[in-house]
Amino acid sequence: MTDPTQPRSPRHTQPIDPQAYPQQQPPQQPQAPVMPPQAPAPQPAPQPMPQQAPQMTPLVPGAPGVSVSQEAPLFGGLVGVDPTRERPILSVRDLEVFYGAARALRGVSFDVYQGEIVSIIGGNGAGKSTTMRTISGVYELLKSVKGQIWFKGQRIDQMACHKIARLGMAHVPEDRRVFPQSSVEDNLLLGAYRRFKKERRRIRAEVDDVYDRFPVLAERRHRAAGLLSGGEQQMLAIARGLMSNPDFLLMDEPSLGLAPILVREMFEIVNDLAAEGKTILIVEQMAVQALEIADRAYVLESGVITIEGTGQELVEDPRVKEAYLGA
Amino acid sequence: MKTFLQVIAIGLSQGAVYALVALGITLIFRTTRILNFAQGQILMVAVFVSLTLNQNALKSIPLPIAWLIGIGVAVGLGVLIELGVRPTLKHSGSLGWILATVGMATIIQFIAPYFWPADDRLYPSPFPNDRGIPGLGSLFSQRQIFTIVAAFLLMLGVDWLYNKTKLGRAMKAVAIDRDAAALMGISAKATVRWAFILSAALTAIAGFLVAPLTFANIAMGFDLGVKGFVAAVLGGIDSARGAIAGGIMLGIFEAALPQVLDLVSPNLAKYPLPFVFALFILVLVFRPQGIFGTAIREAR
């Protein structure tokens, strides 16, 4: 666990507006256990931990015994953290996901703070995409979810996917899920669906901005999305995600199936988005690139977070080197 | 020449009604990829509810208000059917919707004789003193012109809804990929419900337009439902414009057929329906996506 009292990255320097989410108060009766009344503020371990410690349990103001300041609306905050600066936009706590009897995630906990890029790396079947789909609320047959997910102060683990999207979360799924019969432009406009009525003129300008960022999409704006190449569809999926003007972007294996030159281009785009202030959670099998761009990163193995730290710390971690970097 | 123009007049007015029913079927199909086999029964119930209210011996309700109430009942039935098919929509490949819609059609058809007699009933026209259109002699009646104009205005409205509105975009997205649509912030549940509501309302209006041209009968739902389905398939079931064209084509084909068959054998002219279905089968064989439709490719 990284020390939450330390600055996390040079990129994470913008002070967070304490009034950013004025109406988002967590419930008075938390379902997760909270800290005991006189418990001293626990200090997170400085280095990677094999599994999340109990102190990861989110503190909920108003709950009996919570020993942090109760004036500022906290969610998923950590003890000893200045709530006006250290507010995670996303908190995942003790997340367990089952597909029938099969357990895909086994108590995953992590935070993502505003303006960060957080990477999750891991092998096939580790549970990376399950984590992403569970956060964004994608419906899946036979799936059941335990644990808590908090986004911008609201608990979303039982919320419908479209409601989560309306809160400002955009998910670029692993399989792109562009609308194949619709044109590139229609796909982009669908990305802006939740703002369609109120911001019609602004959306038009944003479509043009997207075309500036992805010129290949401008050339194919009237072509059916299903006729685009894999790389073009990936760009369209990212562009469509951006059209919703999200606060938080989930990117699931964005490099999957792309030519090496496109992979580099795609990671440059991710970096640019973060520089513009977007918060990004990315899962990737291309560990080197994913760790290089990450402020913080987690290693997920068989549904458990086994290692965590800054991107640089994980690049240098011998276990990560051996398992994922080919050292 | 006069016969030809009369055939066109009858075909257009009848075809406009088929087009509306077909449009209702297409609305639901484009959003959910399912067919509502109870469409005709919704039409019949709307017609008979409005007829009962308007011709009530105790207190007659004015026709426009009776229409509104009829539309309300139709929409209620549409929502009921939507609730019935909803569980099957989440799982692609499920055919439970067939059971739900056919079951609802059967139930309505079974219950209807307890409320309304089985014989033909005259439906009130909005033009009680219909003397035709001045200058056109007896070619077009006011009722026919009203039916054609109203149907075309509704068709334009649906076309606008599809292509220009937020709901239309949502309908397209949900039809292609419900999960991807949800990621865009689109509620598939609400979108599908709107499709059923609009479809039921359109079908009810089609009933109000066709009933004064023919008679009201509790069997009319089956007949119009089947013909609406044929019209939708003829034009292309995933295409709103195709459904309109299919309806008009079917109306004119049906109106012209007795004239043509009469030349071959007067007996044949009495049974035009098999020829309508022959046309339907021919289209299915040679152009299964319909004349204006596109072959549907399922996403994932």
A311 touches chain B (CB under 8 A): no
Instruction: Confirm whether B37 is domain-assigned.
Output: yes
Give chain B's domain count: 1
Best residue of A139, A143, A181 to probe chain B, by most B CBs closer than 10 Å: A181
Give contacts of A185 with chain B, Cβ < 8 Å: none
Contacts of A136 in chain B (CB under 8 A): 183
- Tell if the CB–CB gap between B183 and A166 is shorter than 8 Å: no
Q: What is the pLDDT of residue B40?
A: 92
Q: What is the pLDDT of residue B290?
A: 79
Q: What is the CATH number of the domain that holds B69?
A: 1.10.3470
Average pLDDT score over chain B: 85
ipTM beyond cut 0.85:
no
For B161-214, how does the pLDDT look when each residue is reduced to its tens digit (9 = 90+)? Answer: 888 888 998 998 998 888 899 999 999 899 999 999 999 999 999 999 888 888
Question: Using alpha carbons only, what angle is made at residue A318 by residues A313 and A324, rounded to the nearest 5 degrees?
Answer: 90
Q: Is residue B97 part of a domain?
A: yes
When pLDDT is averaged across residues B57-76 and rounded to a whole number, the result is: 89
What residues 150-169 of chain B have any CB closer than 8 A to a CB of chain A? 166, 169
Q: What's the pLDDT at A102?
A: 87
A241 in Cβ contact with B185 (< 8 Å): no
What's the pTM value of the predicted model, to 2 decimals? 0.78
Partner-chain contact A186 B169, CB within 8 Å: yes
A162 in reach of chain B (CB within 8 A): yes
On whether residue B124 sits in a domain, the answer given is: no
Which residues, in sequence order, are CB contacts of A247 under 8 Å at separation 6+? A89, A114, A152, A168, A169, A278, A279
The band of B91, judged by pLDDT with boundaries at 50, 70 and 90, is: low
Q: CB-CB: which of A161, A181, A189 is closest to B182?
A: A161
Q: Collect all residues of chain A within an 8 Å Cβ-Cβ radius of residue B297.
A: 180-181, 226
The DSSP 8-state label assigned to residue A156 in this structure reads -
Determine contact: A166 vs chain B, CB below 8 A.
yes
Chain B residues close to A182, C-beta within 8 Å:
172-173, 176
Asked if the Cβ–Cβ distance from B173 to A171 is below 8 Å, we say no
Residues 211-230, chain A, touching B (beta carbon < 8 A): 226
Residue A198 forms contact with B (CB below 8 Å): no
Q: How far is A90 from A76, CA to CA, in rounded Å? A: 8
Interchain contact, B173 vs A178, CB within 8 Å: no
Please tell me the distance from the alpha carbon of residue B134 to that of residue B136, in angstroms, as a whole number.
6
Buried b (16+ CB within 10 A) or exposed e, B202-211: bbbbbbbbbb
Kindly state whether residue B81 falls inside one of the protein's structural domains: yes
Query: What pLDDT score was predicted for residue B143?
Result: 81
Contact of B184 with chain A, judged by CB distance below 8 Å, is answered with yes
What is d(CA B106, CA B114) in angstroms, rounded to the nearest whole number? 14
Mean pLDDT of B66-79: 95
Higher pLDDT, B262 or A35: B262
pLDDT of residue B94: 66
Q: Is residue B133 part of a domain?
A: no
Closest CB to A197 among B166, B182, B299: B166
**A287 inside 8 A of chain B by CB:** no
CB contacts < 8 A, A to B, total 81
B183 CB neighbours in chain A (<8 A) are 136, 138, 161-162, 165, 170-171, 173, 177
Give Cβ neighbours of residue B161 (< 8 Å, ≥ 6 apart).
Answer: B167, B168, B198
pLDDT surpasses 60 at B264: yes
Q: Which of B171, B184, B192 to mutate to test the interface with A (most CBs of A within 10 A)?
A: B184
Q: Note the pLDDT of residue B76.
A: 95
pLDDT, tens digit, 9 for 90 and up, residues B104-147: 899 999 999 999 888 888 888 877 776 666 666 666 778 888 88
Task: Indicate whether B298 belongs to any domain.
Answer: no
The alpha-carbon gap from B164 to the nearest alpha carbon of chain A, in Å, equals 11
pLDDT of residue B288: 80
Q: Would residue B275 count as lying in a domain?
A: yes
Which structural domain, as residue segments, surrounds residue B31?
4-119+139-286
B204 CB within 8 Å of a chain A CB: no
Residue A169 DSSP class: E
Q: Which two tokens stand for residue B230?
A: 């044929």
Question: Which of A177, A186, A189 has its CB closest to that of B183?
Answer: A177
A61 touches chain B (CB under 8 A): no
Specify the DSSP element, H or E, that contains B113.
Answer: helix B96-115
How does residue B295 score in pLDDT terms, banded at 50, 70 and 90?
low
Low-confidence ranges of chain A (pLDDT < 70): 1-86, 326-327
Residue B185 placed within a domain: yes
Mutate to test the interface with B, among A132, A159, A171, A179 (most CBs of B within 10 A): A179
Predicted local confidence at residue A187, as pLDDT: 92
The string of pLDDT tens digits covering residues B214-251 is: 888 898 988 888 889 889 888 888 777 888 888 998 99
Strand partners, A301: A304
DSSP for B43-81 reads HHHHHHHHHHHHT-SS-PPPHHHHHHHHHHHHHHHHHHH
Question: Given this model, what pLDDT does residue A23 score?
Answer: 40
How far, in Å, CA of A260 to CA of B249, rounded?
Answer: 54
